[in-house]
Every structure is written in structure tokens, then in C-alpha cells.
Chains A and B, each alone.
Chain A
Amino acid sequence: MKSRTKDKIYIVGFLLIPMVLLALFSYYPLMKLIQLSFTDWNGMSRDLKYIGIRNYQDIFSQKELFQTFGNNMAYVITALIQQIAGLFLAILLNSNIKMKTTFRAILFMPYIINGVAVAFMFNYMYDYSNSPINYILGSLGIEAVHFISNSYMTNFALSFISFWKYVGWTMVIYIAALQSIPGDVYEAARIDGAGFFQTIRYITLPNIKKMLEVSLLLSLNGALQVYFEPFLITKGGPNGRTATFISKSLELAYSYSKYGKAATMGVILLFMILVLVAVQNLFLKGDE
């Protein structure tokens, strides 16, 4: 009995500070976001008016807002490719090839470089008239590329930046998962004479399923929330071509003083992500 109450004190003591921080910096802002989504607040003034669900109605009737998800799709696709590439590299670098630790170290390196520096570096790479890439292409007699253009490909150019930075990280995560697979499973497969794809299909993938799902979820989450690259490099332009859902909501808040509506977009995005998580969880449970 006595140790029970003592434990309670410890639990409270150990969790108090982190929970307070969590409440202050995650849950209070979240509540505020939800509250503001029902108002017409302009982002500055002291008074706000509750307008019910009008923001939600507005947003669902404005198809151009959801079209920004089209731009997010480029990031989603890149995120998927990043998962596949990371896994593929992990498999290769978890085999018996020489210098694999060196290769791992090099491929992981972009992860540790400052994000602003990386963004500026690619800003340089993507500049039409100054781009070193175009310079090289030019000396090979190939026509220069418009990296930042009115075409949808601009989104891929931007999403490639995070691919470059994070593919090594993805790889390391998958190496970790691969190493947790007991060696004798592979041994058995080898004796059975299973081929490359068979081994991956029947042994590797099922065994790292949990990590696969966590990693996939996190990168999808990132792809839906993306705003940093457009913010630093294109400002959502040209022509709204690179505006993501979040950068569009920031535009609403700051260019048109519709903070309430921007908050609504934030709530909708959060809701969509939580649905995604829930669906994935259900999927996972159903399988087991």
C-alpha cells in the first residue's frame, strides 16, 4: 500500500514537467487553433467573432484550396520513392559487400547538414542562368533545364531537396530493422534456393512490416505538412504552382488577414492525418 502511494508521487513527479510543457506548447495551441477555426479573426485584432462552421463551408466550396493537395502529391510520391530507395540501399548495404560502413556513412551525411544551407544550395542548383547543372548540360551540348517553371515538375524539383537530405536517414532506419531479423531465417531461405525478389517478398518485407509502416507514416505526414522548401525558394510561386496546403493557409493568414480560415485549414489537415493514422492502425490490426 505504502509503495503504491509512493509510486504515485514518483509518477506525478517524473511526468509533471514534460506534461506541462506538452500542454503549453502542443495542446494549448491546438485548442486555440480549433477555437479560432470557428471565428473570423484577422490575425491581429483583439476582438473576434464566432461564425460557426462558415470557414469549413467556405473551404469545402473552394476547390482551388484542395488543388494545393495536388502539389503535395509530388512530395508524397517523392516520399514513397524515398522509402523504396532507402529500403533498397539498406538491403544492399546489409549484404556482404566490402566497405559497406563507409558507404552507409557517406549516404547518411546529407542528413546532418543544416536545412537552410541545403535549401540555398539547391536554390543555386536550380537557378536557370547560373545553375551549375545547366552549365554542365550546356557544355555537353544539352539544352538548359527550367527547374523552377510553370510546370508541375517544379514540385518534384523542390521535393527532391528533402529526398537528397533524408534518403540516407531512411536507409539507416531500414538497416536497423533488417538487423533485427534473425539470421537463420535467411539461412533457411538460402538453403531453399529462394531468389532475390522472393526473399524480399516473403522474408524481408513481412519481418520489417512495423518499421515500414512507421517510416511510411512519418514521411507521408511530412509530405502533407511540407512548406519549408516552397517558403525559402519559390514562395509558393510561380503562379501558385508550388503552393502546398500549408503554404496556402499561411497565405490566407498573412496576405488576406483570414487567420480564422487559415486555422480551419490547419484543423482539416490534422484531421486528415489522424484519419490516415487510424486507417493504417486498423489495417495493421486486421492483418495480425
Chain B
Amino acid sequence: MIKSKKETLKSTFIINNKPGRCLVYLLMIFGIIGVFAPLLIVLNVSLKTNEEYMMKGVMTLPENMGNISNYVRAFVEGNFITGFMNTAILVVVSVPVTIIIASLVAYTLSRFEFRARKLVYLAFLIPTFIPGMTVTIATFQVIKSLGVYNTLLAGMILYIGTDIMQIYIFLQFINNVPVSLDESARLDGAGRIRIYTSIILPQLKPAIATTVILKLLGIYNDFFTPYMYMPKIKTVATSLYSFSGDKLAEWPLMSAAIILVAIPTIIIYIFLQRHIISGVTDGAVK
């Protein structure tokens, strides 16, 4: 029954007895229903007209499976095109800059000897524990005095500020790159920056993939930053929020809006899920 040696080695348990296997699959089916049920219900409702929803309720299939009128209405009335555009701009600008900054910080912490190293690490760690909601007014004042309030720059600057998670992931990877590689490069006359670009960065590829995706999701999902610091610039999340303004009782329409917002990341996920999960897995392992 034993398959490849490697496979077995990595496994926590070898489950070979029938009842055990059945139990695992049963649990998995349970979990899959838990994940999909709410999404499918919302999808189902989103394809119904209001009248149909009132008359027949939730569980029947839509009379017309191709009824996308709710989607069209949500898309137009919710002004989601602007939302998607703005979110896209934020992602395109903030993600690469964050990656560069975070990897440079990790590189510095890993390869340079200096006394304040621990302190710097700690300085990036502590903000994780500051309750963000309570410091909005001061943050607002900074945004305002930088003159970027109500512009996309506000979001960009706030997103570029790196967090400990990225630095942590990068550090794990850089620490695994043998220092001897640096040394031999230095003997060949490479400077610190050359070492970073030609040795460190290529080794970071999987970590970069992961952080790109996490950061992207973070920006896509963030509601509070655009809501507070650039209310005029609607992103996907704030578009959905203001769309809900007076339509919370129109369930089919709201459902369509929910699905509309969920679709882009689900599509990305379907194509990239292998990389996302393995990236997180590799990145998180020390």
C-alpha cells in the first residue's frame, strides 16, 4: 500500500483502514459544504428576479439561469467599474513597492551586522498589536498634512508601509540562502546591491509570489483605509458598502453585488491556488 517514499515521509499519518478513510472523506465533504453552501445560496438568489424571490423563496432554482439583470443593475448602480479600476491602481503601485521595501529590510536584517538589529525587528513587530481603529484621528492628521487626503496616494502610502508578516516571510527565505554565496560574489567584486539583485532576489521568488498575493488580497479586501482616508475614491470594498446603503432588503440585488465582488479573486484563485498555498506553506516554514 505504501506509495512513493517521499509522500509517506511527509505525511503526518498513514491512514490505511477503511473506516478511517471514510471518516476523513465524510469530514471533508462536510467542510466543502460549509464553504460552498453560503456562496451557492447567494449565487442562486442573485439569479432570481425580485418577484420570483418573493414568491418562491430561496431554495428553488432560478426560472431563468441566465438572468443577469441583477448583476447589470448592481454593476451600474454600484459604480463598480470605478471601484475595480481604483483598486487595480492601488494594487499595481503598492504591491511592487512593498515587495522591494520589505525584501530590503529583510536583507538588511539578515546580512548586515549592526547593534540595533533586534530593535528594528521589534519596531516592525509592535504595530501589529496597535488597535488600528483607535488611532484613526492621528493617522488622519498625518495623511492630511502630507496633502494626500482624498487621493489615491493616501491609499498607496498607507499600503506601502510594510508589515512584520512580509518581513518575516522574506527573512525565513534569506536566512536559508547560504552566506557563502554572498562571500564568493563579494570576492568577485560584487557590492551589496549587486548581491541583493543577483543572489538574494532570485532566491526569493516563491516568497515574492506569496507576499504579492497576500498583499493583493489585503488591499482588495481592505475596507477601512479607503473609507476613512479617501472617501471620494471608491474602491471595490467601499463601493459595495455604499451600494448597500438603501438596498439591504433587496436580497437578490445585494446577492449579485456580493458575487460580483467575490468573482475576481475567485478567478485569480482558481488559476493560482497551487502557488498561493505552496507559497504560504514554504514561506511560513523556517
Contact = CB atoms under 8 A, between A and B. Distances in A.
> CB–CB under 8 A between A and B in the complex?
yes
Interface of A: 6-8, 10-11, 14-15, 17-19, 21-22, 24-30, 32-33, 43, 89, 91-92, 94-97, 101, 103-117, 120-125, 130, 132, 135-136, 139, 164, 168, 172-173, 175-181, 183-184, 186-187, 190, 196, 199, 204, 210-211, 218, 221, 225, 227-228, 232, 246, 249-250, 259, 262-263, 265-266, 269-270, 273-274, 277
B81 interface: no
Given A14-B107, A211-B284, A116 B10 contact: no
B31 A107 contact: yes
B15 A97 contact: yes
Given A6-B192, A117-B262, 20 more contacts: A8-B114, A15-B120, A92-B27, A95-B13, A96-B7, A103-B31, A109-B35, A111-B217, A112-B268, A117-B257, A120-B254, A120-B258, A124-B42, A124-B251, A125-B41, A136-B59, A168-B35, A176-B285, A180-B286, A266-B133
The A interface is mostly helix, strand or loop, or mixed, namely helix
B262 A17 contact: no
Contact of A263 (B134, B217, B268): B134
Report, nearest first, the 5 A-B pairs whose CB atoms are least far apart: A183-B9, A266-B134, A29-B138, A29-B135, A32-B138
Contacts of B258: 117, 120-121
Contacts of A108: 273, 276-277
B75 interface: no
Given A15-B120, A120-B240, A269-B131, A186 B142 contact: no
A204 B11 CA distance: 11
Contact of B261 (A10, A91, A117, A132): A117
Contacts of A164: 34-35, 38
Contact of A10 (B10, B28, B108): B108
A180 B11 CA distance: 11
25 contacts: A8-B114, A14-B107, A18-B162, A22-B127, A26-B126, A32-B137, A33-B130, A94-B11, A94-B12, A107-B32, A108-B277, A109-B269, A112-B268, A114-B265, A116-B223, A121-B258, A132-B58, A164-B34, A176-B280, A183-B11, A190-B14, A204-B12, A221-B128, A266-B131, A270-B131
A186 B12 contact: yes
A164 B248 CA distance: 22
Contacts of A114: 220-221, 236-237, 240, 261-262, 265
Contact of A178 (B12, B25, B251, B254): B12
Contacts of A15: 104-105, 108, 120
A76 B158 CA distance: 29
Contacts of B113: 7
Contact of A196 (B13, B38, B221): B13
Nearest to A4: B113
B232 interface: no
Contacts of A181: 12
Nearest to B23: A92
Nearest to B145: A24
A283 B25 CA distance: 38
A29 B139 contact: yes
A123 B38 CA distance: 11
Contact of A95 (B24, B132, B217, B240): B24
B10 A179 contact: yes
Interface in B85-123: 101-102, 104-105, 107-108, 112-114, 120, 123
Contacts of A97: 15, 21, 24-25
A18 B161 contact: yes
Contacts of B57: 135
B282 interface: yes
Contacts, number: 257
A95 B14 contact: yes
B161 A105 contact: no
A172 B277 contact: yes
A19 B123 contact: yes
B112 A130 contact: no
B199 interface: no
A175 B281 contact: yes
A263 to B, nearest CB: 7
B32 A103 contact: yes
Contacts of B8: 96, 183
A49 B128 CA distance: 30
A26 B127 contact: yes
A270 B127 CA distance: 10
A14 B251 contact: no
Contacts of B135: 29-30, 32-33, 266
Nearest to A231: B133
Nearest to A90: B12
Contacts of B7: 96
B112 to A, nearest CB: 5
Contacts of B133: 225, 227, 246, 249-250, 266
B233 interface: no
